[in-house]
Structure formats: C-alpha cells, structure tokens
C-alpha cells in the first residue's frame, strides 16, 4: 500500500487543529477560511473586530498594512494551532476579557467590566488594570513570535476632539505599561479612533460603557510565519 506521508501529515495537523477548537471559547466560531488553511482577505475580519461597525466606511490603512493577510496551506494550520493555544491561555488568565480568534489573529477587548478600566475622562492605569495587564504581558512573553496592536475608543459623550485625545492617551497608556513589563517596543503598534468607531448603541448606558474600550490584537510576526512555512515545506 502506498502512503503519501505529506498528505498524512496535513491530515494529522488539521485534525489536531480541529480538536483544539473544542477547548477554547475564543475559537468556537473560528473563521472557516482559517480552518481550511486557505488564503483569505488581508486582515479584513481582524480590522472589523478591532475597529467596529464602520470598518467598511474607510477603516485604517496603517492597521491593514500591519495586520497583513491570512496564511494558507499547512503553514496556516500550524499558525492556527499556536494562536489557538495563546487565545486559550489569555482566556484562562483573564476570564473577564472578551477573546476572539479572527483569521490568523486574536482580538482581546477590554471595557469597564472586563479587566482594564479607566475612570471617567482619565487614562492612568489603575491597580486593577495593572493586575490584568501583568497577566497579559506574561502571556506575551510566553508567545514571543507575535506583533501586538493596541487600539483605543470612547463613547460619544463630550466633544470629538476631547474623545480623540482621550482614546489616544488610553491606548498609549496600555501600550506603555505593557512595554514596561519587559516586552520589546518593536512588537507594538498603537492607534486610536475616539468616538468614531462604536460597536454598540451609544444611546444606552450599557452601550456607552462597552464603547469605552481598548482592543488588543495579537498577530503572527514574520518569524512565526517563516518558521511555519519551513516546517510545512512551503518555502
């Protein structure tokens, strides 16, 4: 009997990837493109998860360039396995945060009820937020072959200019704190959108609280991508 070992390895990798999906809430709704290991659009789904419901109205070119595209084939399956494990670790360490697996990335959303909280009109990292960010930094150290995007948002209370500045200050407060925990500055990109990208209804108290958020997206870096391609024989 002839056995195609390359096809067998792809099958086994795919099987292990699908098994891992059952162990992590963040990957319950994993993108079907990523499951199949095929090439998808350049970071579109990740951008949508970061920016919100207005991504189709222009989005942000810088973030799109940083995020890049979805890796296909066996390399994509290998990357998916690594990112699934990292997403599961974040869920275990920070159970209050919303953790989503989107394409090749992970999107973590912090709002007033999920670990990183800012007092009204403030942007300092308080003690509770420090505890959460310390745990997140620990995961980032455990998985060094990723880039990290931090994106700040506000609700629509106050002027556009003040909210833009506030979202910038909050995003940099998170970025700078994570860097202070020994993470390389080269891994980070920071952006902010003020009140312009709501994900929830600003006419409600709960919606405004959820819109006062900071997103952290974790994306495979070139080292992870190249290592996966070499292991998969795709170079």
Mean pLDDT across the chain: 80
Q: How far is CA 119 from CA 101, 116, 122, 156, 199, in A?
A: 29, 10, 5, 16, 20
Tens of pLDDT along 19-53?
444 455 665 544 433 333 333 344 678 888 888 76
Tens of pLDDT along 102-118?
988 999 988 777 778 77
Q: What residues form DSSP beta bridges with 215?
A: 109, 151
Q: What length is written for the chain?
A: 235
Q: What residues form DSSP beta bridges with 135?
A: none
Cα–Cα distance between 13 and 75 in angstroms, integer?
10
Residue 147 or 210, more confident: 147
Region 185-212: mean pLDDT is 91
Q: What's the pTM?
A: 0.79
Q: Domains of the chain, with CATH numbers?
A: 5-232 (3.30.1330.60)
Task: Report whether 79 contacts 220 (CB < 8 A).
Answer: yes
Contacts of 137 (CB under 8 A, 6+ apart): 178, 181, 182, 183
């Amino acid at each position: 009997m002839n056995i195609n070992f390359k096809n067998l390895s792809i099958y086994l990798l795919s099987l292990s990837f699908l098994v891992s999906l059952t162990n992590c809430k963040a990957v319950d709704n994993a993108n079907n493109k990523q499951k199949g290991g095929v090439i998808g659009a350049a970071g579109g789904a990740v951008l949508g998860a970061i920016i919100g419901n207005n991504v189709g109205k222009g989005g942000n070119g810088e973030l799109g360039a940083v995020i890049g595209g979805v890796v296909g084939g066996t390399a994509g399956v290998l990357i998916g396995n690594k990112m699934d494990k990292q997403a599961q670790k974040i869920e275990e360490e920070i159970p209050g945060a919303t953790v989503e697996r989107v394409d090749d990335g992970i999107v973590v959303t912090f709002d007033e009820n999920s670990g990183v909280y800012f007092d009204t009109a403030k942007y300092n990292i308080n003690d509770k937020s420090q505890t959460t960010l310390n745990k997140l930094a620990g995961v980032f150290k455990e998985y060094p072959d990723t880039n990290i995007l931090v994106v700040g948002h506000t609700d629509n209370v106050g002027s556009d200019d003040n909210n833009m500045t506030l979202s910038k200050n909050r995003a940099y407060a998170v970025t700078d704190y994570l860097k202070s925990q020994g993470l390389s500055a080269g891994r980070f990109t920071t952006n902010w959108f003020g009140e312009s990208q709501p994900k929830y209804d600003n006419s409600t108290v709960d919606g405004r609280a959820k819109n006062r958020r900071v997103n952290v997206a974790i994306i495979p870096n070139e080292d992870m991508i190249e290592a996966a391609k070499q292991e998969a024989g795709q170079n």
